[in-house]
Amino acid sequence: MSPLEPFGARLRHAMDARGPLCVGIDPHASLLAAWGLGDDIRGLETFTRTVVDALADQVAVFKPQSAFFERFGSRGIAVLERAVADLRAAGGLVVMDAKRGDIGSTMAAYAETFLHKDAPLFSDALTVSPYLGYGSLKPAVDLARENGAGLFVLALTSNPEGAEVQRAVREDGRSIGATMLGHLAAENAGAAPMGSYGAVVGATLGDLSTFDLDINGPLLAPGIGAQGATPADLPRVFGAAVRNVVPNVSRGVLKAGPDAGALRDAAARFADEVRVVVDAA
C-alpha cells in the first residue's frame, strides 16, 4: 500500500482485514499499578512495549493517549515515538489522541508534529478540537490530506460536560455538534471507500437519530467496555452509519494484561463481537 493512500481507504482495509476495533493505549497510574508496575518511566516502557508486542500485528487501530506519555517529559515522548513507529511498522494504524486545537501558526505547528510524514510522531490520524471554529483546523485538514493522514474531530463526545457546547443551538437552528458533522461530510464528499475526516461520537450517548451521522467518514466511538457501552449498543446509537464506526476499547482490553496471550484474547473477543453486530445490522 502506498504511504500516500488516503487514511480513510487504509482504515477500511485494516478493519476489514483485522476487525473493527481500536485499542486505546492509556498508561495511567492506576493501570500501571494494576499491572504491578511503578508509575515511572520504567513502568511506562514496560507497559507500552508489552501492549505493542502483543497486539501490533493483530489489531486494526491503536489510539495512544499522548498526555499519559507527556507527563514523563522527554523520556515519555521517546517511548511514544518508538511505540508509534513499531505499531505502524507492524501494519497497525495509529490515531494520536492529543485533541489539539488552536489557530494560525500554532495549529500549523501542532499539525506538523503529528501529521507531517517526516515528523518523529507522524501518525495515521490525529484527534482535534474544533471549538475555536472549524475553520481553525484548516492547517491540519490540509496537511493531513497532503500526507495521506486523517483527523477525528470532537463532535458528540461521551463526557457529560460536552453537551453544553456540542448541543448548543446556533441561530440557524442547528446544534454545534451537527454543524461539525456537516463540515466533515463536506470534506469527505466523493471519497471512496470512505473519507479520511472522521468524528468522535460517544458510544454511550444512546439514540442519536436526530443527528446525520452519514458523513462518509469514520466515527471514532469511545465508551465501549469500562464506560458501560457494549458492541450490541452500536446499531442503536449509530444506525445506518454503523459500518463506519471505529469502536475504541481501552481498559476493557488493557485490564487483561500484563499477560500477552490474555491481551490478544481480549482484543480478539471485542473485535469479533463488533464484527458480528455490524454484519447483522
Which pLDDT tens digit goes with each residue over 170-226? 999 999 999 999 999 999 999 999 999 999 999 999 999 999 999 999 999 998 877
pLDDT number for residue 205: 94
The total number of residues written for the chain in this structure:
281
Flag whether 216 is in a domain.
Answer: no
| 21: CATH | 3.20.20.70
Q: 196 with 149: CB under 8 angstroms?
A: yes
Flag whether 224 is in a domain.
Answer: no
Task: State the catalytic residues.
Answer: 99
Q: Which amino acid is at 260?
A: A
Which pTM does this prediction carry?
0.97
User: Domain limits at 92?
Assistant: 7-155+240-280
- Nine-digit cell string for 93: 494504524
Flag whether 269 is in a domain.
Answer: yes
Flag whether 113 is in a domain.
Answer: yes
Flag whether 201 is in a domain.
Answer: no
Flag whether 91 is in a domain.
Answer: yes
For residue 160, the tally of other CB atoms under 10 A from its CB is 8
Q: Which amino acid is at 226?
A: A
* Separation between Cα atoms, residue 236 and residue 229, nearest integer Å: 11
pLDDT tens column, 5-44: 999 999 999 999 999 999 999 999 999 999 999 999 999 9
Q: Is the peptide bond before 258 cis (omega within 30 degrees of 0)?
A: yes
pLDDT number for residue 3: 53
Flag whether 110 is in a domain.
Answer: yes
Domain tally, the chain: 1
pLDDT number for residue 1: 40
